[in-house]
Structure 1
Amino acid sequence: METNEQAWGKLLKYYRQKKKQKQDDVAFGICTPSYLSRIENGIVVAEHSMYEQLFKNLGIDLNKLEQQLQGQTTFLEQLYEKLLSNIELTADEIEQLTAMQNDEHPLEQQLMAKLVYARFLYSIKEDDQARTILLEMEPFISWKKDRITQLFVAITAFGHLSFQEFEQLSIKEENDQLSQFLSNAHPFELANYHYHIAFANHRSYKLQKALEHIEMAQQFFTHQYKPLFQLKLYSMKGVIFNDAHRFQEALKEFEAGLNLLANVPSIQTPMQWSSLHNNIAYCYECQENFTEAAKHYKSANDYDEDLHSAINWMRTCFAQKDFDQLHILLKRYEEQQFIVPHHIYQRRLLAYAVEDEITIRGLKLLEEEAFPHFSEQQYYSLTLFYAPLWAGFYEQLHAYKQASHCFKQALDASEKIRQRMSS
């Protein structure tokens, strides 16, 4: 870690160059220019009084400068913690943070301000702009356990999730062990980082690694005043257990989440209730308990009318042959309301599946639209649901070659899940 004195050396160089003064002028009456050069480059550490004199020659009060820079650092750290805790920044905070995006500060301060600003941009879905800032900053990262490296690693990881680059983030952590740079960071930051790596591994079907990282997140998380993050841990661990077919353990995590929500009014938002009921519903759906699944999908949708819950509810209605409810939902949620591709494709498939007249041509057109997307986006569970369904329709129409192709797609998806779950 860099000492205060080494940081002061960098600041001396920064302000000397900014004021366009030579080393001879600043060092006059205090030390030799060569000795000043070594101080500026962190090769030697001088007495505190020498730094005060050198800054005085630049017309700067070192104590006031320290207070100013410390105040700015504290402000940036406070903003970063708010962003980690999903707390919106105030208009005044955003204005101050934006104003710090200039070259009027020492390099360390500039880098920190830009990093926090990038994290803010991710929070408001300005992903491309955030990534541009991070790419511009990468050459300045020391890759030591300093604060700038810690922030860069954590914010870059969050960026990968924003771009849905789950496999890339999973491989990067596995190969480079970037968590080592955060080993001396605040435990809450470590918990956040391991939560993000767990999320990436889960979406990459690396369930054992996902479980390892969510358990590390739980170990580092000790802050009882952040119930929203605790809820995220319960939910994430539950979905990992669910996809590993450890259903009772999954339900235990979800029940803990429901209990937390019921007892902490500050996090009782419709979105949180909806998300948790959606996870519980999917757990029952995976167990083919479609009655319970439909009940919880309905609860999710009642709390926060969400198209993700709606499409899941439709799928469950079809699975339990509740076609009356499915028709009600199809009428309520028309195709133009959906914007997520896999939602659109699922609605088309389900709507066609309950039509009175099904043709080979109609089946094939939807198959060629939807199934490649499911495979490309690694939605293997969707392939496992819809490919056998389509194969059955083909068989009813005696199109056995097309049926065989659908069954093969389902088999391939199953094998990919098996391989990843065992890795």
Structure 2
Amino acid sequence: MENNEKAWGKLLKYYRQKKKQKQDDVAFGICTPSYLSRIENGIVIAEHSMYEQLFENLGIDFNKLKQQLKSQTTFLEQLYEKLLSNAEFTVGEIEQLTAMQTEEQPFEQQLMAKLVYARFLYSKKEDDVARTILNEIEPFVSWKKDRVTQLFVAITTFGHLSFQEFEQLSNKEEDSQFAQFLSNAHPFELANYHYHIAFANHRSYKLQKALEHIELAQQFFIHQYKPLFQLKLFSMKGVIFNDSHRFQKALKEFEAGLNLLESVPSIQTPMQWSSLHNNIAYCYECQENFPEASKHYKTANNYDEDLHSAINWMRTCFAQKDFKQLEILLKRYEEHQFSVPHHIYQRRLLQYAVESAHTIRGLKLLEDEAFPHFNEQQYYSLILFYAPLWAQFYEQLHAYKQASYCFRQALYASEKIRQRMSS
């Protein structure tokens, strides 16, 4: 709710209409009906005593009402801060927030409760329901720097990420500068917002924009103790540096993340350890330091057995010709265990690559299946790894035309990566 006297006028109007009272009746003995109308519409801010009298005519204890609404607002703000910090709700908090969706409240209070509830639904992966709520709220957003607008901007931004609408979110901020609505919000909210925009730009391969927003997130996050979010900032900045081929800067960020993780037991989960070691491993892989990459992929997999780390580890084993370990991994992770298309295609390519009897037909079938998908999804680093390998296999079979085509695909991927680095 607005934390000023203008909100009191809106409350008067809300409760007067709810009780089906005319302005003449409420204003009687206090002010003129026209003056009450101006108060209700925020044109005039009256003396505190006048608000007390007007609410009294409605049978409402004004001071008690203010305290009740303040308590509800504080509760919603605490829940929202928990959501930003990835903290779990208690059963009682969930029940109270759910109950607020059906209770009669002043309109702005209703909107705020629905917005926090939508963000809670996103945290529970109930994305479609959350988006429906936000679509219902959008017509009532004032697009000023009020609390409802701030929450709507931040929560719809998070929603775009949930739906993997990275390009849409990146363009939305670039075109409309929605960050302006959050300029007077809490610094932690601003840090979260810029982190999300950085994430969207990174996934849209706009690396320079991503770096700008992650640095803004760091600026707003200074002097706050939220180690899990700090870890996210280290990891994201490291990933952006790595994709820009600024490997030493990337490793510096990842090392800072490791130091933080080692120092704060409360954030030490298998997933956090695994994710960070996977990022470090990929950084070494990009530098063709395959033994170091393989070591960190193994560590990541030991912390939290993850199919993404597993396929990366397989690829690195092949690159350093550790075919013994690759065979172990291929047996441990059979194709039916994978569901992500580029994981499935990579496993098929690697399985075929270690076989001794290649045929032009066999190579072509896998090429036609995997490479178009890599290109469509803009996985140019995968094209750059597998296309030259397939070209070598074609050359061994004297299929030079097919080999030439694979080399051209690798060249195209290399140029796309170069463009990303300068974007």
Q: Tell me the TM-score range normalised by the shorter chain.
A: over 0.9
Q: Is the 8 A contact 2:166 2:201 kept in 1?
A: yes
Superposition pairs for residues 8-407 of structure 1, below 5 Å?
A: 8-102=8-102, 104-407=104-407
SS of aligned partner of 2:245: coil
Question: In structure 2, what residue type is equivalent to 1:79?
Answer: L
In 2: Cα distance, 1:54 partner to 1:359 partner:
88
Q: Is the 8 A contact 1:205 1:417 kept in 2?
A: no
Instruction: Assess, with a 3 A threshold, how the Cα gap between structure 1 residues 411 and 101 changes in structure 2: closer, same or farther.
Output: farther
Question: In structure 2, what residue type is equivalent to 1:353?
Answer: A
Q: Is the 8 A contact 1:80 1:116 kept in 2?
A: yes
Q: What per-residue deviation string (whole Å, max 9, x for no partner) do you get for residues 184-214 of structure 1?
A: 1111111111111111111122111111111
In 2: Cα distance, 1:272 partner to 1:303 partner:
9
Partner of 2:415: 415
Shift of 1:179: 0.9
Shift of 1:167: 1.4
Shift of 1:224: 4.1
Shift of 1:345: 1.9
Question: In structure 2, what residue type is equivalent to 1:105?
Answer: Q
Q: Is the 8 A contact 1:241 1:247 kept in 2?
A: yes
Aligned residue pairs: how many? 423
Q: Is the 8 A contact 2:244 2:420 kept in 1?
A: no
Q: What per-residue deviation string (whole Å, max 9, x for no partner) do you get for residues 110-161 of structure 1?
A: 1111111111111111111111211221111111111111111111111111
In 2: Cα distance, 1:92 partner to 1:366 partner:
54
SS of aligned partner of 1:102: coil
Q: Is the 8 A contact 1:270 1:303 kept in 2?
A: yes
Q: Is the 8 A contact 2:278 2:300 kept in 1?
A: yes
SS of aligned partner of 1:238: helix
Q: Is the 8 A contact 2:245 2:421 kept in 1?
A: no
SS of aligned partner of 2:305: coil
Shift of 1:103: 5.7
Shift of 1:382: 1.7
Shift of 1:335: 1.4
Instruction: Assess, with a 3 A threshold, how the Cα gap between structure 1 residues 298 and 396 changes in structure 2: closer, same or farther.
Output: same
Q: Is the 8 A contact 2:2 2:147 kept in 1?
A: no
- Comparing 351-360 with 185-194, greater Cα deviation is found at 351-360
Shift of 1:3: 5.7
- Comparing 388-397 with 25-34, greater Cα deviation is found at 388-397
Q: Is the 8 A contact 1:239 1:279 kept in 2?
A: yes
Instruction: Assess, with a 3 A threshold, how the Cα gap between structure 1 residues 258 and 111 changes in structure 2: closer, same or farther.
Output: same
In 2: Cα distance, 1:253 partner to 1:71 partner:
41
Shift of 1:223: 4.3
Structure 2: segments with no counterpart, 5+ residues: none
SS of aligned partner of 1:42: coil
In 1: Cα distance, 2:408 partner to 2:116 partner:
48
Shift of 1:248: 1.0
In 2: Cα distance, 1:184 partner to 1:285 partner:
42
In 2: Cα distance, 1:78 partner to 1:212 partner:
29
Shift of 1:401: 3.5
RMSD over aligned CA atoms reads 1.7
Identity among equivalent pairs (%): 87
Question: In structure 1, what residue type is equivalent to 2:179?
Answer: S
Q: What per-residue deviation string (whole Å, max 9, x for no partner) do you get for residues 240-264 of structure 1?
A: 1111111111111111111111111
In 2: Cα distance, 1:177 partner to 1:321 partner:
49
How does the TM-score come out when normalised to structure 2?
0.96
In 2: Cα distance, 1:205 partner to 1:157 partner:
18
Q: Is the 8 A contact 1:188 1:223 kept in 2?
A: no
Q: Is the 8 A contact 1:291 1:320 kept in 2?
A: yes
In 1: Cα distance, 2:32 partner to 2:369 partner:
74
In 2: Cα distance, 1:405 partner to 1:98 partner:
59
